[in-house]
Amino acid sequence: MKIRKAVFPVAGLGTRVLPATKAMPKEMLTIVDKPLIQYVVDEAKEAGIEHFIFVTGRNKGVIEDHFDRMFELDATLESRGKKAEMEILQRDQPEAGAMSFTRQQAPLGLGHAVWCARDIVGNEPFAVLLPDELVLHTPGCLKQMIEAAGKLGDKSNLIAVEEVPADRTHQYGICGVGKRQGNIFEIDGMVEKPPKGTAPSNLSITGRYILQPEIFQILQRHERGAGGEIQLTDAMIGLAKSQSFYGVEFEGERHDCGSKAGFLRANIAFGMAREDLRDGLREEMKRHLSN
Ligand code: UTP
């Protein structure tokens, strides 16, 4: 199964991290020195994705700008001989024509955001990456999933899953576990936020998916689910009636950067993973802990 296209839903309001997201998109929040959206685009590139589809909304224009050339900045860096900085900007720049932007005029839910990409995706399997979830690992989470997809049938759907503490399963979408093969298992049912004590496992659905285009036919119905939103999980439950779904337990630590505590933790984890910052950061944390 060849996955060429990835969808990045970036039209949400980011209310959990207000006021940071009042005038700035959540997806532009910075972990160390890169915006969230750059991390997930890099993850998709590493996995061999060729076309990057952004589902944007109001106040999200800066995301488009981030992937454009900044002629004034380029000229200034060049005139000042700042070669390393110029290389960083060039490295982050996707090829011309490799990006598409479409609008979700109202944040009606993740399922609706994915549906907005239907014409650009067309009739082929595709990846979905939620930019507020980062996985610290090489190879990245999507690359691990594409490797897993290579072992499965062409009409398979895959979801990255992660273990969560049993007493917190009610906060997540949870998968039932069927036949297992290493880190891949058949998903035997999915349930969004199961009441305490009823979860079929402690494996939660995370923000990386490989989906078949038939998901659009289900999303087309615009059925509202939890919170009155058009939920991707509900559409996946519908598609699971006719197609197989597999869970992939990926290697790496997942960070929910869409919450304040998760955002801070991610900055520490990604900062500590950087050779140029690790020692200074460790000293600074020691100083704070001793106070
Ligand atoms: P979240 O639920 O984490 O994002 O959706 P949110 O709604 O922006 O956050 P809170 O809960 O208000 O803080 C995951 C991803 O899906 C996108 C978001 O932009 C985010 O990247 N999304 C969500 C959409 O594109 N459209 C939607 O209607 C909802």
3-state secondary structure of 264: helix
Domain boundaries, the chain: 5-289
pTM confidence score: 0.95
pLDDT band at 88 (very low <50, low <70, confident <90, very high): confident
Q: Quick one: the chain helix, strand, coil %, rounded to 5?
A: 40, 25, 35
Place of tokens 């009823």: 198
What is the CATH superfamily name and number for domain 5-289? Spore Coat Polysaccharide Biosynthesis Protein SpsA; Chain A (3.90.550.10)
Interatomic CA distance for residues 188 and 198, integer angstroms: 15
26 C-beta closer than 6 A to ligand 1:
yes
Give the Å distance between the CA of 108 and the centre of ligand 1. Answer: 9
Structure tokens at 50: 């060729």
3-state secondary structure of 130: coil
pLDDT band at 89 (very low <50, low <70, confident <90, very high): confident
Residues facing residue 211 across a β-bridge: 126
110, 116, 234, 254, best to mutate for ligand 1 pocket (most atoms within 8 Å of CB): 110
11 C-beta closer than 6 A to ligand 1:
yes
Q: Which atom of ligand 1 is nearest to the CA of 107?
A: 28
Interatomic CA distance for residues 141 and 175, integer angstroms: 18
7, 13, 28, best to mutate for ligand 1 pocket (most atoms within 8 Å of CB): 13
How many of the other CB atoms lie within 10 Å of CB of 265? 15
| pLDDT tens profile 214-254 | 999 999 999 888 788 999 999 999 999 999 999 999 999 99
Give the Å distance between the CA of 110 and the centre of ligand 1. Answer: 6
Q: Is the pLDDT of residue 44 over 90?
A: yes
Mean pLDDT of 2-18: 95
Interatomic CA distance for residues 239 and 222, integer angstroms: 14
Average confidence score pLDDT of the chain: 94
Q: Is the pLDDT of residue 71 over 80?
A: yes
Q: Is the pLDDT of residue 133 over 90?
A: yes
